[in-house]
């Protein structure tokens, strides 16, 4: 079987559909090949909450692209300046992010969101994730991340599919791309296998790799991230197994970014279906740790739960959990903080949780060393700076001066019943990928573009290292998908 298109996009997530849409806008014939069948498609994007990080000048700057909500009248959305966005990228990556790619992401992310909105994608303010109710009933947003897709990742991908259909993009599901078709130094298409066992090729002037990283490939995780990473739980699609990155490298491409780190989070450790759960998706995340403490089986704390807003720490704490005994930890809350936890995560169907009237009973039920947990809680409570007022909307400097410290939002764990949520490491996507220029052209070892080959989304390496500012992945997929599609 052989077909021809002007542009072939490999992968049907946010970045792939953005690339396909941008190419179709130019009148190109576009075929998008997606490994999964349609009812299981959407890539990692489907599994997200839909959060998209963009710079803006405050609520008034967003009203024309977000859905109406009566709460807007009592809502404060602080401006998020481009300089703050760039600083956040540099801060969380400890300066290892690619400066040129980062600059483009910052400068074009709002325009890319507006472009997608113009094609029918719907956005809203993420009240349940990024704002707490204040005493006067108003809302204050925090952490630089304010906008998300209506319906989360599921809504995002439903909107993308509809936009692609309107634009005339041909989407072929159940088509697993197995490699690149080359002619001398030029990429001229892809080979594929269908779900019913047929094989074929798709010739094209340009190929855009948007098929993600290698996080669903346990052996590649072990080889590149390190021993133990093969045991991490895969949060998103099982389709991101790295074949297209490997194929591009074999065709002369160069590695880009940090191949030794990834995006990984605190993830429900006890749910029987805690990998690639297509129904619950992101609800298996446990992001409420800034309101409590996190301990291992020895009853010891090992991270600063209040180091920064969750947006800037959640993507690295999965790694820290993986390093604990049994690769498991426990988020501990008391009766005062339990009601503040996000319902979508902590009240989801089948949530793993243990509750008890005393810390000792909680420890016994969870298998934590009882005396050690009691000692940890007692020392934590005694070291809290009571002179600072707790305020979850700001970095309140309410410190518990223990080791490691809890730098913000320290509340005494003293009122039963007590709750323990077991968590493990959930891997989201790998930070290493292909080296590209700022238009997504894949570069060879000599620094020159490989003719006909582009990459975007999680296949593009260089934006993130070690950590990640929440919402910047979907923004990057839109920006660099659009850029690749605009010249492919």
In this prediction, residue 397 carries a pLDDT of 98
pLDDT of 185 = 86
* The pLDDT value given to residue 216: 98
pLDDT at residue 1, rounded to an integer: 55
Looking at residue 2, what is its pLDDT?
61
Going residue by residue through the chain (488 aa), what tens digit of pLDDT does each one get?
Answer: 569 999 999 999 999 999 999 999 999 999 999 999 999 999 999 999 999 999 999 999 999 999 999 999 999 999 999 999 999 999 999 999 999 999 999 999 999 999 999 999 999 999 999 999 999 999 999 999 999 999 999 999 999 999 999 999 999 999 999 999 999 889 999 999 998 999 999 999 999 999 999 999 999 999 999 999 999 999 999 999 999 999 999 999 999 999 999 999 999 999 999 999 999 999 999 999 999 999 999 999 999 999 999 999 999 999 999 999 999 999 999 999 999 999 999 999 999 999 999 999 999 999 999 999 999 999 999 999 999 999 999 999 999 999 999 999 999 999 999 999 999 999 999 999 999 999 999 999 999 999 999 999 999 999 999 999 999 999 999 999 999 999 99
- What is the helix (H) or strand (E) element at residue 245, kind and residue range? helix 243-250
C-beta separation of 218 from 20 below 8 A = no
Q: pLDDT tens across 179-197, in order?
A: 999 998 899 999 999 989 9
Q: What is the pLDDT of residue 184?
A: 87
Instruction: Please answer whether residues 396 and 384 qualify as being in contact, where contact means their C-beta atoms are separated by less than 8 angstroms.
Output: no
Please, what are the domains in the chain? 2-214+431-487 (3.50.50.60), 263-426 (3.90.700.10)
CB 176 within 8 A of CB 160: no
What is d(CA 461, CA 435) in angstroms, rounded to the nearest whole number?
6
pLDDT at 279: 97
pLDDT of 468 reads 95
Q: What is the pTM of this model?
A: 0.97
């Amino acid at each position: 079987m052989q077909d021809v298109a002007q542009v072939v996009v490999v992968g049907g997530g946010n970045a792939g559909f953005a690339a396909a849409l941008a190419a179709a806008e130019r009148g190109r014939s576009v075929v998008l090949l997606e490994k999964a069948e349609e009812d299981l498609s959407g890539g990692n994007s489907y599994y997200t909450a839909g959060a998209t990080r963009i710079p803006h000048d405050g609520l008034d700057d967003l009203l024309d692209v977000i859905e109406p909500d009566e709460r807007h009248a009592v809502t404060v959305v602080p401006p998020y300046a481009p300089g703050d966005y760039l600083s956040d990228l540099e801060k969380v990556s400890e300066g290892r992010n690619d400066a040129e790619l980062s600059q483009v992401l910052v400068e074009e992310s709002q325009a890319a969101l507006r472009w997608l909105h113009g094609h029918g994608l719907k956005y809203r303010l993420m009240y349940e994730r990024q704002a707490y109710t204040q005493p006067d009933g108003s809302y204050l947003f925090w952490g630089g991340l304010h906008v998300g897709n209506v319906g989360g990742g599921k809504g995002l991908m439903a909107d993308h599919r509809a936009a692609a259909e309107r634009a005339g993009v041909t989407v072929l599901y159940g088509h697993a791309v197995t490699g690149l078709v080359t002619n001398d130094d030029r990429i001229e298409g892809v080979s594929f296998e269908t779900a019913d066992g047929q094989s074929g090729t798709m010739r094209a002037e340009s190929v855009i790799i948007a098929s993600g990283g290698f996080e669903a490939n346990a052996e590649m995780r072990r080889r590149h991230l390190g021993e133990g990473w093969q045991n991490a739980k895969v949060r998103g699609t099982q389709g991101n197994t790295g074949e297209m990155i490997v194929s591009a490298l074999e065709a002369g491409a160069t590695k880009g970014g940090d191949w030794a780190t990834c995006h990984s989070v605190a993830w429900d450790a006890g749910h029987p279906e805690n990998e690639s759960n297509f129904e619950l998706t992101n609800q298996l995340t446990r992001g409420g740790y800034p309101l409590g403490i996190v301990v291992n089986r020895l009853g010891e704390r090992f991270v600063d739960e209040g180091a920064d807003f969750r947006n800037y720490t959640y993507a690295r704490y999965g790694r820290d959990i993986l390093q604990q005994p049994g690769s498991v930890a426990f988020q501990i809350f008391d009766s005062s903080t339990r009601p503040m936890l996000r319902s979508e995560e902590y009240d989801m169907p089948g949530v793993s949780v243990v509750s008890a009237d005393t810390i000792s009973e909680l420890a016994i039920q969870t298998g934590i060393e009882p005396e050690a947990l009691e000692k940890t809680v007692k020392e934590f409570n005694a070291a809290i700076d009571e002179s600072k007022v707790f305020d979850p909307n700001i970095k309140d400097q309410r410190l518990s001066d223990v080791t490691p410290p809890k730098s913000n939002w320290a509340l005494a764990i003293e009122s039963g019943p007590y709750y323990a949520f077991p968590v493990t490491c959930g891997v989201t996507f790998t930070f290493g990928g292909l080296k590209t220029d700022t238009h997504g052209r894949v570069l060879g070892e000599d620094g020159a573009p490989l003719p006909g080959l582009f990459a975007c989304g999680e296949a593009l390496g260089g934006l993130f290292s070690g950590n990640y500012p929440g919402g910047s992945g979907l923004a990057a997929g839109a920006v660099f998908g659009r850029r690749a599609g605009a010249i492919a």
